[in-house]
Chains A and B, each alone.
Chain A
């Protein structure tokens, strides 16, 4: 019934619309005008609307900043993340004025120079000087941004060399769960292969490898000691996943067949972050950020950052892989 009403309504609107268009056209003709020619008055109106749109656009922008900017991720909980945030901020400091100014000029020109029969457009076809300016100015700004970005990037991507002074964790993604493997006392991860997956050996750790004997497999949540560099190694068993830990400004794809890596130093415990965010239920999370199947939207693992003692205690409670 509803459908029939809608269909009938649409048909009526279309018929009425067609008639109105025809009438408008005939009326224009009777006044000796052509309906498709934009009159000066209409042009001025459009120009004004353009200016109005810009004002509305900026108001919209301000309103969003006001109501939604606060929803952004809290301060970075990793050491490098502070630099990332700073550079992101610096980039915004460059692009926001450019965004406002160029949009502003665009809509202002539309308003200012809308058609007038008494004015002539200026024949101005090129100017080497101007073109030089707006080639060189962006180049300079970009050079600075690139250089800062690259130094940041190289710092972040350099693996932690010192094997004694780091926590080594392997994260394995699988539709639609995560498994963390801790290197154990020897600080070395044992070999693993998909053919060895069986029961609790969820990631196929090779039991015959000496390095594997004290490895620990953890599900549900994993812990990190605050202030200690953490070296992550990533694997996947099926589709590509991406290990995204937004609070640490950290992300790396997990690709079947190869291992990838990333490292960071967590700087704030879960407790501290709960205070900062004013939220007793706050938890760090690891989420999957590469489409990997139907339940991609729910592939998560909690992360707990705590003091070294708490961490050592927690780790001691976890069973080694052979147990």
Chain B
């Protein structure tokens, strides 16, 4: 009896309330992916409506049965789905899922620490995230439906249940869920920062950190500085909704009634929201960029080109991301001079972004590229980062934004540059570090199939959206059929929807590969990709503490791949030199010759 009791307790603390960063990483990954899959299904549902407006679908009936008896989506349900899709993808999949998984897994392993600074806070961070996910999903089932004011939840729409049914209980739960989410994110980020700054192993100076760690560090700093602002915005909104204050509301006449609110301004909300909202884009993106930097360098068997420039450009992007939020608000009636300033700062961000792209290209140049699925997804990221990034020059230029603001051009732009890039980075990371996560290998062939389906369908979904934007089609429209001027858009919409359905089916290949490999894949060796970084010196099996005996010390930067001596031979006989190898007498560190 007592042993049984003991087992249960072991199980509880190993798998559920674990304080080990590797287990917490897996928890984030699985929860994030489940949320992501739900978000994906939602997008398929509303793409059905957009491709074939007003038609009845069995899938809609099956999944939304009790709400949409006849299988036809209602307009306010459409907006609920769009809102939940955006929220889930941005926050749950690509913030918590991405950072939570890889910061947790890689920070201790790559800096040479036994665990996070505080394992307990780390555990809390996951459980807050879990609770907020549950609350967010529950909000789908309340009266009036889930929040439906867009993921940006601008008041007054989000403040007044009279304005849309989803602004009732659904919105309340959205705010509760996001508040819990923010707590989770802050606990996680503080932990990451402290760990990186204080717990590096001997020899691991800041300039010997892998770019992944730099990316996670900057991401965490962005999060700590910007999420609290969203929290305060959300709290003020709660006051306006429930306690009759007027932070965001003024002069409102709705449903035949004049409301008593007076003196507030929804613009205040927009400022607070986008003060988080824009850095959020980089909170999503930077970890993906860090991950691919690492993978591209390892798999091209070449040092990353411009290590310092990569760090510098990430810092520049991080800093600038705090002074560009106004580009979402050019048309709110802000002072035109302010608009000019935001145009200026916004287009500045293009410079460090361009530097990163060129550095990636130069890293691939004259490499010896090993095409694992991780490599492919990293290449995919560079491609989407380019294809989505260039259209930013249109949107960031206030004069040009006037005509494309809030059209499908924007939807195309941000999905490619942020959604796809971050998703690709996340997939790349999963394929690459799967051996560290689960001690087994994923199947390459299925991974390749997954990559090709995903990149083809993803471009198929989001590239044509630019053309809808040229035609002036607004986003967040339940259907375009009310406007004769949009009548001939239906071909594009059908094309997009077909690609979206195929993309979703393609993800099943991944899920199958993931689940199968986690349990039955071939056992992983310690260093399957011949990497230099410290995680590949830690044993495959998981135990608290990461290394038996001493933590290894570090003697060099992480990118000594294909380093040759004067005779053109590999310095140590292999095309890689782990960070734990002491520097030779005639060797210089940091990629210098």
Contact = CB atoms under 8 A, between A and B. Distances in A.
Contact of A291 (B157, B568, B590): B157
A71 to B, nearest CB: 5
A244 interface: yes
Contacts of B512: 14, 17
B252 A194 contact: yes
Interface residues of A, number: 124
A105 interface: yes
A293 B386 contact: no
Given A24-B443, A113-B364, 16 more contacts: A43-B371, A71-B467, A71-B488, A88-B403, A95-B394, A105-B361, A121-B300, A122-B302, A149-B398, A157-B339, A281-B484, A289-B405, A289-B474, A290-B154, A294-B164, A294-B478
Interface of A: 2-3, 14, 17-18, 21-22, 24-25, 34-36, 38, 42-43, 46-47, 49-50, 53, 56-57, 60-61, 64, 67-69, 71-73, 81, 83-84, 87-88, 91-92, 94-95, 98-99, 102-103, 105-107, 109-110, 113-116, 119-127, 130-131, 134-135, 138-139, 142, 145-146, 149-150, 152-154, 156-158, 174-175, 193-195, 197, 204, 234, 237-240, 242, 244, 246-247, 249-253, 255-261, 281-283, 285, 287-298, 300
Contacts of A57: 459
27 contacts: A2-B58, A38-B370, A47-B371, A73-B470, A84-B399, A91-B393, A91-B394, A113-B368, A121-B300, A121-B302, A121-B368, A122-B302, A125-B304, A125-B305, A125-B307, A126-B308, A127-B306, A131-B309, A142-B350, A146-B343, A174-B253, A239-B154, A240-B157, A246-B472, A251-B402, A292-B163, A296-B75
Give the secondary structure class of A's interface: helix
B343 A285 contact: no
Given A197-B253, A257-B265, A113 B347 contact: no
A156 B351 CA distance: 27
Contacts of B207: none
Interface residues of B, number: 132
Interface string B463-482: 11001001110101111101
B134 interface: no
Contact of B79 (A46, A146, A294): A294
A199 B331 CA distance: 31
A122 B368 CA distance: 8
Contact of A256 (B250, B361, B370): B250
A194 B253 contact: yes
Nearest to A257: B250
Contacts, number: 373
B13 interface: no
A7 to B, nearest CB: 12
A113 B368 CA distance: 5
A21 B446 CA distance: 9
A120 B562 contact: yes
Interface in B151-204: 154, 156-157, 160, 163-165
Interface in B530-562: 559, 561-562
A127 B366 CA distance: 15
A255 B369 contact: no
